[in-house]
Amino acid sequence: MNKKDILPVDFMWGGATAANQYEGAWDVGGKKASTADVMTGGTHTNPRRITKHIEEGVYYPSHEAVDFYHHYKEDIKLFAEMGFKCFRMSIAWSRIFPNADDRVANEEGLQFYDNVFSELKKYNIEPVVTISHYEAPFALTEKYNGWVSREVIDHYVKYCNTLFTRYKDVVKYWITFNEINSLMVPAGAFLAGALLIDDSGAFNNTTIDSSQMRFQALHHQLVASAKAVDLAHKINPNFKVGCMINYSLGYASTCNPKDIVKAQKHDQINNMICGDVHVRGEYPAFTKRYFEENNIKIETAEADQETLKNGCVDFYTFSYYKSHVVGTRPEGDETQGNVFGGFKNPYLKATDWGWQIDPEGLRYVLNHVYDRYKIPMMVVENGLGAVDVVEKDGTINDDYRIEYLKGHIEQMKEAVYDGVELIGYTPWGCIDIVSASTGEMKKRYGFIYVDKDNDGKGTLNRWKKKSFGWYQKVIATNGEEL
């Protein structure tokens, strides 16, 4: 794609992170445990554990993460050097309301984000703030079993009210929940703070599931999100509030019509239920049959329908890393991905973590979603998790990362030429942070290397990878030189 000036001049280039994977300082400045803080380290083959309390002598990667809390000035300076126009970050809810039901917000926590926002302002970097990125105060799990309980909606709205009021003049772009549709699959239960109890009375989110609980929790999040959008617009009509969908692109495994319908159902259920509620303010028609066939009975309040209608988002954001295949099982194995997996696509290669690389899929998703909703879109996560090798002279030649990102940016440009209104791009983990799925450090996404290993050892020093200079040039030429 050589067309010049295809991206708008004010295109929001940046990078994305999340507090629980980046910030550290988990018990500093009045903060208390979040749901992410009770997740142990793990690996690709050895899953992370959820513990009911912080266990002595156990490694919890989020506790220090890569310590943005104490390195924010240094990191933001590096982002500015790359030319970032925006920076996606999240706020740790338990830094603001450590016990969730605190009468007043924790001033020290609010002050920390004041400092971050003014540092960003110094470099004209626009914050894009996720209000809840895969975490909530652990107290909400202890008191209510997380989002399964309707009471959590009010706690979330109170939290939003505090953020919107405090940061009224410094933050314009908000995202209510990260990858809200992750609740479609069993792993999503704890992402909504819910612990599942097995027959022996022990909690066990590894081998048991309750779709009933997950969809109830999801409904509460959707209502909470709509209330937040409405509130945001009342507090500052200039606020732009978006949803965030973990886009699960599942191609039909053959052209057998049965496979085509399976792929369509996959898309409807996993992507469109949440997308439609956020953008159109109502559950799509196909939800009814899905709930009936899966014996899901959601408890709703009378006002919910109206609440959803009054809380439609201003823009649609999503994460996109990979695609997979659904339908008749093709030759070959299953493939993995962020939350959603499927079968392997013989036309695609995969990362070391088994996520299949598919730049064209990004163009497909952008077109597909834009045709449906016709509102501005932003790709807020995309990237390659890989092991980086530090050479003796300190250089890190991450050409594989450059190749991955280049391919996806090319396809974004194609989509814009197709007519999609794309307003920004924030590759994931613009600085190395803890992996959400495995808790590892060695699965790195960044343009900036952080010296820390899987066991938590390292100096936390930062230095630039080869991709740093490459991305700097991409931004400087507004995507023309890739």
CB of 193 to ligand BG6, least distance (A): 16
- Fill in the per-residue mask, 69 to 108: x = in contact with ligand BG6 (CB under 6 A), - = not in contact: ----------------------------------------
Give the torsion sign (CA, 107, 112, 115, 121): negative
Shorter beta-carbon distance to ligand BG6: residue 145 or 338: 338
**SS3 call for 464:** strand
- The question of whether 306 is a catalytic residue gets the answer no
CB of 17 to ligand BG6, least distance (A): 9
Please identify, among the stretches 44-52, 141-149, 161-169, 432-440, the one whose residues bind ligand BG6 according to the rule CB under 6 A: 432-440
Shorter beta-carbon distance to ligand BG6: residue 4 or 349: 349
Q: At what angle do helices 211-235 and 151-166 cross, to 10 degrees?
A: 30
Q: Count Cβ atoms within 10 A of the Cβ of residue 9 and give its class: 0-12 exposed, 13-18 middle, 19 or more buried.
A: exposed
What is the rounded CA–CA span in Å between residue 203 and residue 460?
35
Please identify, among the stretches 184-192, 212-220, 405-413, 430-438, the one whose residues bind ligand BG6 according to the rule CB under 6 A: 430-438
Q: Which residue has the tokens 């959601």?
A: 298
Q: Which two tokens stand for residue 318?
A: 């999503």
Give the active site residue among 64, 381, 414, 440.
381
Q: Which two tokens stand for residue 417?
A: 């030429």
Shorter beta-carbon distance to ligand BG6: residue 435 or 478: 435
What is the rounded CA–CA span in Å between residue 364 and residue 415?
8
CB neighbours of residue 224 within 10 Å: 27
Q: Does 178 bind ligand BG6 (CB under 6 A)?
A: yes
Q: Does 436 bind ligand BG6 (CB under 6 A)?
A: yes
Buried/exposed 245-261: b ≥16 CB within 10 Å, e otherwise: bbbbbbbbbeeeeebee
Q: Quick check: 100 and 135 in contact, CB under 8 A? A: no
- Fill in the per-residue mask, 385 to 424: x = in contact with ligand BG6 (CB under 6 A), - = not in contact: x---------------------------------------
Q: Does 443 bind ligand BG6 (CB under 6 A)?
A: yes
Q: Does 281 bind ligand BG6 (CB under 6 A)?
A: no
DSSP letter at 15? E
What is the rounded CA–CA span in Å between residue 121 and residue 111?
15
CB of 187 to ligand BG6, least distance (A): 10
Shorter beta-carbon distance to ligand BG6: residue 132 or 162: 132
Shorter beta-carbon distance to ligand BG6: residue 178 or 345: 178
Q: Quick check: 45 and 456 in contact, CB under 8 A? A: no
User: What's CA 288's distance to the chain center, in Å?
Assistant: 27
Give the active site residue among 23, 64, 119, 179.
179
Q: Does 246 bind ligand BG6 (CB under 6 A)?
A: yes
Q: Which residue has the tokens 């994977």?
A: 21
Q: Does 179 bind ligand BG6 (CB under 6 A)?
A: yes
> Of 38, 45, 35, 31, which Cα lies nearest the Cα of 59?
38
Q: Quick check: 445 and 385 in contact, CB under 8 A? A: yes
> Of 212, 243, 225, 406, which Cα lies nearest the Cα of 319?
243
CB of 43 to ligand BG6, least distance (A): 12
* Contact with ligand BG6 (CB under 6 A) among 13, 69, 113, 134: 134
Shorter beta-carbon distance to ligand BG6: residue 217 or 436: 436
Size of the site for ligand BG6 (CB under 6 A): 16
- The question of whether 179 is a catalytic residue gets the answer yes
Q: Does 381 bind ligand BG6 (CB under 6 A)?
A: yes
Which H helix or E strand runs over 173? Answer: strand 173-177
What is the rounded CA–CA span in Å between residue 98 and residue 109?
9
* Contact with ligand BG6 (CB under 6 A) among 34, 106, 176, 338: 338
* Contact with ligand BG6 (CB under 6 A) among 162, 225, 435, 478: 435
Identify residues 12-31 at the interface with ligand BG6 (CB under 6 A): 18, 21
Binding site for ligand BG6 (CB under 6 A): 18, 21, 134, 178-179, 246, 319, 338-339, 381, 385, 428, 435-437, 443
Catalytic residue numbers, as ranges: 179, 381
